[in-house]
Structure 1
Amino acid sequence: MTILHVDMDAFYASVEQRDRPELRGKPVIVGGSPTGRGVVSTASYEARKFGVHSAMPTSQALRLCPQAILVRTRMSHYVDVSKRIRDIFNRYTPEVEPLSLDEAFLNVSGCEQLFGTAEKIGRAIKESIWNELNLVASVGVAPNKFLAKLASDLEKPDGFTVIASDRILSTLAPLPISRLWGVGKVTERRFATAQLSTFGDLQRLTVEQSRHLLGNAGEHFWGLARGIDKRRVVSDRQAKSISNETTFPVDIDCADVLQAWLLELTEQVCCRLRTHDQLGRTVQLKLRYSDFHTITRSCSVDSPTDSTDVVWQVAQKLLREAMPTRQLAVRLLGVGITNLDTARPQQLTLFNDEGEPKQVATAQIDSTLDAIRQQFGRSAMRRASLVQHQVDLKRGS
């Protein structure tokens, strides 16, 4: 296989700087309210110099960078821009696996006869995104998904890196162990205790030694240090779910921050459902803790839905039930919808169903909120149920 990983640089912030030229070159924070439970969705590279990063409470980010300009999230707008980026991908290959609005894997194996080498395809995609959308992408080219994602991150921002099949071990050897996919602060300390600081250190171990030192995750890390990853690109045509997840720059142990980020992910997933005219029946929650232990929880609703409020109520219930089982900080949080179906007109019942007016009203609210947030930002309008939930959290209930 030949895989590309395309990752938009500071996507939300870059879109805002593109749309508002007065923001260019300035520290921009895209996220929630500076008070309460607002969190940073993303920050421009000018703001990142001050230590600002995604998932950080907005209030903390503004203390680190008081001159930053806070911009409300416009999720519907970012979805539209993401669709235009996807259109560019689809010119070169139908095998596109979106990870979120701002990054995707592309399998370009077999496309070389039409468009040239994988490197040439990657550069063409990067150039098209800049020429047509005035946005910058970093691109990694490699034999598998892990290496492609790693490559796209090596020279950010505006990076382009190729990891050739015959140079995998030598390319990886000097990299710090923190670049291994899934390594958080706790796992990094375990590596340090075992005097492992680079990929090369781990490459010199046997798989048995790695298991002994690192437990259940030892074999996983041993394989990644050698560039081994057998996962395939799963395109939308094959996908059976729509999901978004984020790996936090630092492990999160604050329930309020997790709740706020959960809402952010839920908004993204449901907006994508509505954009693609799809409904889903099962809500899934994914948590990865600082020790790399991962759990998933799911719950199905009575009928397929694309309602943010319905999915949010289920997602936060799953989070409340999952958290007490573990005391470790959270490394990764994800929300997904499975059992998908194409949205289509629904036949109302002959006799009045008290639930039908509410369903119609909820759908109208969602579409109206999408339009308002696209124009004025995510915080311009909020559902009363979510506001009440925030009040309850502040009261400690």
Structure 2
Amino acid sequence: MPIDSDNIVIVGAGQSGLAAAHAALEQGLRPLLLEASDRAAGSWPRYYDSLALFSPARYSSLPGLPFDGDPERYPRRDEVVAYLERYAAALIERGAELRTGARVEAVHAAGEPGTSGFLVRLAGGQELTAPAVIAASGSFGRPHRPALPGLDAFTGPVLHVADYRSPASLPGERVVVVGAGNSAVQVAHELATDSATGRRVTLASREPIRFVPQRPLGRDLHFWFRLTGFDRLPLARADNPPASPVLDDGRYRQALREGGYARRSMFARLDGDHALWPDGERERVDAVLLATGYRPNLSYLTGLGALDDDGGHPRQRRGLSLTHPGLGYLGLEWQRTPSSNTLRGVGADAAHVVGMLARHLRGAPQRS
């Protein structure tokens, strides 16, 4: 099965995969995007209904196609989906190939150990070969469910935020939301202010919530990120990325202060339909929502030997594999900079990773 020297397979056609395809075209490569779902929008169509970008449209576009409309607005979920589909269509016009419904089951080395090239096996049995592969499959498909005491025996519904769409998704009057990040606070606020239910909502977290004003000195925080260079701050390693603070326009902190929802230290355990809090209080709970993040969704690389001993994280530096020349990654949290796993930052990562892979394909040494 011949391997074309200018072909590159990209696993995933969300924001990271599309940015990779753009960078590949800029390098004169022929990108093939393999997307498991039926559309080129990644995980965005499956996020909760009220989700909006944390950065204004001005700072939230992929390379080569800015968001239209008011540049200071915060695009909602469905706007982002439509934008990504427009971006994919533009890439196809330029020569990129997109295959939807193409779930990658495994990636293997195509030749003997130490040689270049990969064999990509799809769920339907089809096999493809390529000299370079970019894993841009994100993390939405692998929600993190921590081993909290009593969680598995809890008698009420337990949802991860990946399965949450709106307040109607979660029954019950007493809800515990586990987490202290943006999604946890936004969903807790939404549940608490839903006039149809009048829920009692408690945020349970190991650390206090860290609020950051969304518009300090009258300008969006991302204006200051751009001005100071924070978004381009290089990182030596990203094995243990710091927790992100909650961007607040004032309503979340105010609602917490006024008792719209409560925040408590993590419960000691769940017991049946009750939570036992550290102060000894025992409280009935109807439902638990886990806003506990995600892990890289890279199970198709397990047989390649590209992941760490736990099989959860890639062995990589700044998006380039430490185990297999020709293998790259995009969309990892804090991969190269604080903005790596965002619409505003993944384009720069894609240019770096694809540029290094292009050097590899042309026989030049890669630099990290």
TM-score, normalisation: structure 2: 0.28
TM-score, normalisation: structure 1: 0.27
Highest RCO, 1 vs 2 (Cα 8 Å, sep ≥ 6):
2
More helix as a share of residues: 1
